[in-house]
Structure 1
Amino acid sequence: MKLSFKIALRFLKSSKGQTLLIALGIAIGVSVQIFIGTLIQGLQKSLVDRTIGNQPQITLAAAEKDTRIEKSDELMASITKDRPEITAIAAAADGPALIHEGEDTYSVLVRGLDLASSDKIYGILDKIVEGSAPTADNEVLIGKDLSVESGISVGDELEVQANVMETKTLTVTGIFDLGVASINKSWAITTLPTAQGLFDYGDQVTGIELQVKDVFAADTLASTIQQTVGTEFTVDNWKDQNAQLLSGLSGQSVSSIMIQVFVMISVLLGIASILAITVVQKSKQIGILKAMGIRDKTSSLIFLFEGLLLGIVGAVLGILLGLGLAWSFATFALNPDGTPVVPLYLDRNFILLSAGVAVVAATIAALIPARNSSRLNPIEVIRNA
């Protein structure tokens, strides 16, 4: 085996141009894999973050219509017990209401939240563009679009009428911008006790919201939570509510895999054809070596080692080239606000897998030339040389 390795290395060095050509072919294949894979993963991560990154990924509500959740603290404690995959959990008391501002009336969804807990889900505190968060009862945040449309500003007092005909005067302490026009126009965020008092909920809440570490495992986690809480509650997850988004993400992944597969097939065929030519070119040397006593197995290993070495060199060059392409795209392809069109997302496991596939493919591509070399008859080769 050591002899085969040394001969393979010598063959590669003796044909430097050919060796460089094969290595570059492998490198380009690996770089395309890494670039496309990194681009698709970054795009998917960005899309998921923008759509559900600052939203609850699992929601829990009472199963019966027009009923609410009692003892929410105990229920949240049972949900989070022995589930480290839950990163945030918060209770919410929601209800429709009307805001009377002069002669105008605006329909809003009043959201009573424990801001300390809910901020881990929505990031509300970082998205207050004017004023500050409510710190006491009867204070409220409104969205930027509602503020512009109604003329309501920080410090104004609002007459808020609930669907139970309860009316409260709430003071606007701040304006938020969650980046979604419909939310900025329809949400009014207040403290949990304020909303409970406005809608006459007592100490009950309308829902419990969760975020998880792995958003794509939300459906599995939701099923286990459903078993914990029983049929008294319904547990929904974002995957069931966003079928079109999931279909788009799946389509991206499939297209990425197909491109990578065909790239590697073309690389494999290229390596096999060039190494097959190498067998012919080196047939005289192989014939002499066989005449000197090396075995067919040893001659076969020469070309397998060639494929392995070419695969390793090509994979290393491909990783460097692929990462360079991904970095360049993330650096120079920018939105008008200066942020990357697709953020750079590096998955070490994916990069190593791409390199490993290239090495294996290069080695497999050398099987046919290796088999051909083992069949060479040294007497005929030397006679016809």
Structure 2
Amino acid sequence: MRLAFRIALRFLSSSKGQTVLIALGIAIGISVQIFIGSLIEGLQISLLDSTIGSSPHITISAAEKNDPVEDYLTLENKIDQQYSKVSFMTPSVSGGAFMKTNDKTQQILLRGFELDLADDIYKISDKLIDGSMMPSSDDEILLGISLAEEFDVTIGETIDILTATGEVYPAKVVGYFDLKVASINQSWIISPLAFSQNTLGLTTDQVTSLEIQIDSPFDADILATQMLGDNLSDQIRIDNWKDQNEQLLSGLSGQSTSSLMIQVFVVISVVLGIASVLAITVLQKSRQIGILKAMGINDKTSSLVFLFQGFILGILGGILGILFGLGLLVVFTKFALNPDGTPVVPIFINMKFIGLSGFIAVAASTLASIIPALKSRKLSPIEVIKNG
């Protein structure tokens, strides 16, 4: 085996130009695989983050529309104790109302949270434009930035929240937020849970929903089904983001399939290219192989020569391919930019995927060398030397 390896190295070094071209061919194929795979993965992570990264994965509400969830603290405790996959959970109160200030009135959506818990899901503190996120009293609120600009509301100003029944609840504005969704910025008012409960006529043990994020977002439907099966309460409904975003999931699935198909065809082209070049090498080196066989090298050793060539070329091409692929990703993030200077698609570096791509380069190259190896095995030393 050591002899076969040394002969393979000698064959490769005697045709340096050919060796470099084959290694570059493998490298380009693997770099394209790494670039496309990482690009698609980064795009999917970005889409998921913008869609569900700052929103609940599972929402528990009352079975009857417009009814509150009763005794929500007991339900919270059950969920905490039974489901380890739950990362964050916050009670919430949502209801329509009107905002009035400076003789202007507009319909708004009043959202009440335990703000320290809601921040884990909605990342409100990261999206606060000005002011304070943690009110010092129950009647202090946060406004969406578009709503604040439209009404020309300043921090510290008091506005009125009007309910459908005509009741008026004064509230002090202590901050502005920008959740990067125009409809939210134009309509949401965020308040402490107690203020929303009082304004919308709920008791302290009632909320409109429990909002949950879990460790693995793609398991949301599985966990929701499990919760329903466990019958936490017969008065609740459990929704998950996957059922509400079927088009997004279909798009992500299509992206993954197209990425996989491109990568498969890239690998096939690499295999065919290496196999064809090594097959020609068998013809080029047939005289040397014939002489070596006449000197006592057996068929197994002659076959191993070409297998080792494929293996070595795979290692060289894989290393270069990984370097080229990472270089392409760096270049892409430097030149494909949004107006604010951020990358159009944030690249996600998955070291497992990159390692797998390098392994594929070695495996594909070794696999491609099997046919030339079998061909060299059949060479007769007498006929080769006789025919030149």
SS of match in other structure, 2:201: coil
Residue identity matched to 1:20: V
C-alpha separation in 1, matches of 2:5 and 2:255: 42
Residue equivalent to 1:79: 79
Instruction: Say whether the 8 Å CA contact 1:164–1:199 is kept in structure 2.
Output: no
TM-score by length of 1: 0.96
Give the direction of change, closer, same or farther, for the CA distance of 1:361–1:82 in structure 2 (3 Å limit).
Answer: farther
Moved more, 327-336 or 300-309: 327-336
Shift of 1:4: 1.6
C-alpha separation in 1, matches of 2:223 and 2:354: 29
Residue equivalent to 1:205: 207
Shift of 1:243: 1.3
C-alpha separation in 1, matches of 2:79 and 2:305: 60
Residue equivalent to 2:50: 50
> Residues 119-158 of structure 1: matches in 2 within 5 Å?
119-133=119-133, 134-158=135-159
Residue identity matched to 1:292: M
After superposition, what is the alpha-carbon deviation per residue over 1:57-110, rounded to whole angstroms, capped at 9, x for unaligned? 211111122322122222222223354432211000111111222443211111
Residue equivalent to 1:116: 116
Give the direction of change, closer, same or farther, for the CA distance of 1:106–1:261 in structure 2 (3 Å limit).
Answer: same
Moved more, 38-47 or 216-225: 216-225
Residue identity matched to 1:57: H
C-alpha separation in 2, matches of 1:83 and 1:25: 50
1:21 aligns with 2:24: no
Aligned-residue Cα RMSD (Å) equals 1.5
Residue equivalent to 1:282: 285
Residue identity matched to 1:167: V
SS of match in other structure, 1:81: helix
TM-score by length of 2: 0.95
Unaligned runs of 5+ in 2: none
Residue equivalent to 1:224: 226
Residue equivalent to 1:328: 331
Q: Matched residue pairs, number?
A: 385
Instruction: Say whether the 8 Å CA contact 1:141–1:190 is kept in structure 2.
Output: yes
Residue identity matched to 2:345: V
Residue identity matched to 1:209: E
1:234 aligns with 2:264: no
Shift of 1:131: 2.1
C-alpha separation in 2, matches of 1:268 and 1:92: 57
Residue equivalent to 1:342: 345
Instruction: Say whether the 8 Å CA contact 1:163–1:199 is kept in structure 2.
Output: no
Residue equivalent to 1:362: 365
Identical-residue share of aligned pairs (%): 54
After superposition, what is the alpha-carbon deviation per residue over 1:96-148, rounded to whole angstroms, capped at 9, x for unaligned? 11122244321111111000000011111222212223221111111111112
Give the direction of change, closer, same or farther, for the CA distance of 1:231–1:368 in structure 2 (3 Å limit).
Answer: farther
